[in-house]
Amino acid sequence: MTIASILSRQAARESAARTYARTLPIVPVRARGMTVEGADGRRYLDCLSGAGTLALGHNHPAVVEVIRRVLDSEAPLHVLDLATPVKDEFTSELFASLPPAFADRDLRVQFCGPAGTDAVEAAIKLARTATGRHRLLAFTGAYHGMTEGALAVSGDVERRGTDAVTRLPYPYPYRCPLGLGEPEGARVGARWTESLLDDPRGGTGIPAAMLVEPVQGEGGVIPAPDSWLREMRRITEERGIPLIVDEVQTGVGRTGRMWAVEHSGVVPDAMVVSKAVGGSLPLAAVVYRSDLDLWQPGAHAGTFRGNQLAMAAGAATLRFVREQRLDERAADLGGRMLERLRELTRRHRCVGEARGRGLMLGLELVRPDADPDGLGARPPAPELARAVQREALRRGLIVETGGRDGCVVRLLPPLTMSEEQAEAVLERLDDALTAAAAGPPIPAPLGAGAVSTDWAGAGR
Ligand code: PMP
């Protein structure tokens, strides 16, 4: 069975909507920590980490051991939402991991279908039920999942209409949506939010909730300024608007704190968790203040809400991150890597900006030949980002692309990455940038359609 034949069967049999499989034509057969081995014996350093899921890397002994233990115990693996010792332990570990000011709020947890997007749906439904309001506030560049269509085509008219969204500017210093740069852009964006809510003819009224990512991941690795996030908290709190923080990608130490809201000290009303919280297996939940718990039994059901192996793996991961202080390690190593990435910005004209928080890092690729705009940004170069991804793969490095235009090369390495691995990542990335910048005009990747597959497919 050759790799080429597996890949060609995949291309022939799987959906046109497939994503990573287009840009990463490898066939992984073994993985440990940060290393993935392909069927051809080639080894790769994995900075994709299951789209940020693998906080401890692949097959971490702490995770594998608890999975084996659950299997050996003959515990039922499928229990819907019944109570089990495994779930009880996971819930305790999750609650213990939360920022104390949030944990103090008499929290409840709703386990959801095992994808981040389902927990986002649940959080929206929860806020709508609790407030009796419908409209939502969300941000430019936001990514919260893929299931909006599921509600739109359902017969339940009451719950339909996720289109009732007011879009607000998310601070993006490099390409400030207000054309102001920072910190002015964030300040004016907050002011706009406030005046919109207070204007009786603003067209928004008081909405059911605000949804925000503390660092936009798919949007291009854009950390929200702490002061701006605090402003969003003040504005929502003063008006009785639940603040839902989406920590699907930023949670479990990724940004240098256990939860990204801890950087700003913001206490949300609800937090959506998934990805790393399942310790590499599918799990998603929404944790929220008990006074929002006004929905009826079955208001958000789903067959797969009790993934026992994921809960065991997730509890082990949360414990390991806490005990080994991997959040602090992410802050330290990520901070040093960001410095090195900034050096790349100075050496490679095709890199417009390096940014990130903790071990959530990105390089925005821009057209080296174009003139900068008034704020110093050159036009996005998604084709170069894809070329960097391809050149990195040739050098044994798996990276992600994302961002509005698909022009951001993203790094989401495991929090357990060693110093040597970090060094190898930076060297391979440096070489990949040189090769991509020197290369001929880049053809579209295998099977890419008319859409930007990176934005349409990133992180999903
Ligand atoms: N929210 C955020 C912030 C995400 O990054 C993602 C996935 N990239 C989701 C929600 C959706 O998660 P899932 O793909 O598991 O549905």
Q: pLDDT tens-digit profile of 218-239?
A: 999 999 999 999 999 999 999 9
Mutate to test the pocket of ligand 1, among 248, 273, 281 (most ligand atoms within 8 A of CB): 248
Provide the 3-class DSSP secondary structure of residue 193: helix
pLDDT of residue 234: 98
- Ligand 1 centroid to 248 CA: how many Å? 6
- Ligand 1 centroid to 370 CA: how many Å? 33
Q: Which residues contact 412 (CB under 8 A, 6 or more apart)?
A: 47, 48, 49, 51, 52, 217, 249, 254, 359, 360, 361, 400
Q: What is the pLDDT of residues 90-126, one digit of tens each?
A: 999 999 999 999 999 999 999 999 999 999 999 999 9
Provide the 3-class DSSP secondary structure of residue 210: strand
- Return the half-sphere exposure (C-beta side, CA atoms, 13 A cut-off) of residue 34: 21
| Closest listed residue to residue 400, CA positions, set 350, 356, 449 | 356
pLDDT of residue 1: 66
Closest residue by Cα to atom 12, ligand 1, is 116
Cα dist. 453→93, 211, 362, 414 in Å? Answer: 37, 25, 18, 24
Tell me which of 6 and 158 has the higher pLDDT: 6
Is residue 129 predicted with pLDDT exceeding 70? yes
- Residues of the chain within CATH 3.90.1150.10 domain(s) are 3-59+325-457
- Ligand 1, closest atom to CA 459? 8
Closest residue by Cα to atom 8, ligand 1, is 459
- Ligand 1, closest atom to CA 284? 15
Q: Which residues contact 373 (CB under 8 A, 6 or more apart)?
A: none
Is residue 459 predicted with pLDDT exceeding 50? no
Q: Which amino acid is at 73?
A: S
Closest residue by Cα to atom 14, ligand 1, is 460
Contact between 409 and 363 (Cβ < 8 Å)? yes
pLDDT of residue 245: 98
| Closest listed residue to residue 249, CA positions, set 378, 143, 385, 118 | 143
Cα dist. 272→184, 200, 300, 341 in Å? Answer: 29, 31, 14, 30
- Residues of the chain within CATH 3.40.640.10 domain(s) are 75-323
Q: What is the DSSP letter of 31?
A: E
* CATH H superfamily, domain 3-59+325-457: Aspartate Aminotransferase, domain 1 (3.90.1150.10)
H or E element in which residue 197 lies: helix 184-198
Mean pLDDT of the chain: 92
Query: What is the rounded CA–CA span in Å between residue 108 and residue 80?
Result: 18
- List residues near ligand 1 (CB under 6 A): 51, 115-117, 120, 143-145, 213, 217-218, 246, 248-249, 274, 459-460
Give the mean model confidence (pLDDT) for residues 151-168: 68
Q: How many CB atoms lie within 10 A of CB 319?
A: 17
| Closest listed residue to residue 425, CA positions, set 104, 148, 136, 35 | 35
This prediction's pTM: 0.94
Q: Does the domain spanning 75-323 belong to CATH 3.40.50.720?
A: no
CA gyration radius, the chain: 22
Q: What is the pLDDT of residues 47-96, one digit of tens each?
A: 999 999 999 999 999 999 999 999 999 999 999 999 999 999 999 999 99
- Ligand 1 centroid to 274 CA: how many Å? 8
pLDDT of residue 458: 38
Q: Is 206 exposed, middle or buried (0-12, 13-18, 19+ CB in 10 A)?
A: middle
Is residue 441 predicted with pLDDT exceeding 60? no
Q: Which residues contact 22 (CB under 8 A, 6 or more apart)?
A: 445, 446, 447, 448, 453, 457
Q: Which residues of 335-347 are buried (b: 16+ CB within 10 A; e: fewer)?
A: eebbebbeebbee
Mutate to test the pocket of ligand 1, among 54, 118, 143, 222 (most ligand atoms within 8 A of CB): 143
For residue 183, say if its preceding peptide bond is cis, omega within 30 degrees of 0.
yes
- Ligand 1 centroid to 117 CA: how many Å? 6
Q: What is the DSSP letter of 217?
A: S
| Closest listed residue to residue 162, CA positions, set 202, 197, 125, 193 | 125
Q: How many CB atoms lie within 10 A of CB 290?
A: 10
Closest residue by Cα to atom 7, ligand 1, is 459
| Closest listed residue to residue 433, CA positions, set 355, 343, 338, 357 | 343
Is residue 246 predicted with pLDDT exceeding 50? yes
| Closest listed residue to residue 67, CA positions, set 326, 408, 307, 305 | 307
- Ligand 1, closest atom to CA 218? 5
